[in-house]
Amino acid sequence: MRLPHPVVRRAAAGATAFVLALAALTACSGGSASDPEEAGRTGPGAPGGKAPSAGGVLPNESPGAADNRPPGELSGRELADRAVQLMAATSYKLTGRLGAGGDAADVTVEVTKQRDARQTVAGADVRQVLIRVGGTVYTNVESVVGPTAAPSLPADLRGRFVKTDGQQLDAKLVDPFAGTFGAGSGDVAKGAVEQVDGKGVWPLTVKSADGATTTMYVMAAGDPYPIKITVAGGDPLDLKVGDFGADVAVAAPSPDLVLDQAALQRALAG
């Protein structure tokens, strides 16, 4: 399973528009911490504002399921399971780069504690904004019509959004952590501790059928929050993960800026 850019739409001009699936996980609430080491102590995003202590009970686990083994004694699969559950219980932000060369694009994804999300992808020939609020996804019209048609859009369509049912998204794509490293992802290889941005991390790796390798770097001290994720061997991806538990706000576009797909087709038909 490929991580956040599993759906790729190639425009006629040769640019690549990356469509990231947005998180749609169980709603939760919590505190605030921007550093994963602090998160391990104060607990961002868990129900009631208190995350599990290192090696403690994770969200959705019963008290009898507590695993007090230190991370060094856990397998790659066990560490990945912990990381996936931690990320399901906090807000966070992804920032980084997708693609290479002329197809490269900067990406930012913000996910709230309620699992709403906003994604922006910006490259030489593409600017895409996706907003997910509840079960609805809003996509900017410019990215819907593609980079070839976008320059000739009527002025009254620029800056507007198309509304679609977000529940139609593939369940394996809606969350980059669970979708790539969840229980159905197969073997997870655990490498030796290394340094990322001055922090000790365990690299956890999965391979997809097309030969791409996805690596999630989780904290070696405290709870295993991911702080970086990369894809090699396919469309390259390099994302940093941070702002755990931050007070992220994502709102739907103003109603006067929203069209459904039928309305967009009528407007384009003139």
Any domain includes 55? no
Q: Give φ, ψ of 168 to 5 degrees.
A: -80, -10
The CB-based long-range contact list for 103-109 (8 Å cut-off, 24+ gap) reads 103/14, 103/15, 103/16, 105/16, 105/18, 107/4, 107/18, 107/20, 107/239, 109/4, 109/20, 109/22
Any domain includes 62? no
pLDDT in the model for residue 175? 65
Any domain includes 38? no
Any domain includes 74? no
Any domain includes 17? yes
Q: Give φ, ψ of 170 to 5 degrees.
A: -60, 130
Instruction: Tell me which residue range forms the domain holding 134.
Output: 7-28+88-262
| Count of domains forming the chain | 1
pTM of the model: 0.73
Q: Residues 112, 247: contact at Cβ < 8 Å? A: no
Each of the 270 residues of the chain gets a pLDDT tens digit; together they read 332 332 333 322 222 222 343 332 222 223 334 454 444 433 333 333 333 333 333 444 444 456 778 778 899 999 999 999 998 888 999 999 988 888 888 989 888 888 888 888 888 777 888 888 887 889 898 888 877 777 788 888 888 899 987 655 544 444 668 778 887 777 899 999 999 999 999 999 998 877 888 899 999 998 899 999 998 887 788 999 999 999 988 999 999 999 988 888 888 887
- Give the CATH number of the domain where residue 196 resides: 2.50.20.10
Q: Residues 246, 34: contact at Cβ < 8 Å? A: yes
Nearby residues of 43 by Cβ (< 8 Å), 6 or more positions away? 30, 31, 33, 49, 50, 51, 52, 53, 245
pLDDT in the model for residue 65? 55
Any domain includes 79? no
Q: Hey, is 177 helix, strand or coil?
A: helix
Any domain includes 69? no
pLDDT in the model for residue 257? 93
Any domain includes 268? no
Q: Is 210 exposed, middle or buried (0-12, 13-18, 19+ CB in 10 A)?
A: exposed
pLDDT in the model for residue 1? 30
Q: Residues 217, 227: contact at Cβ < 8 Å? A: yes
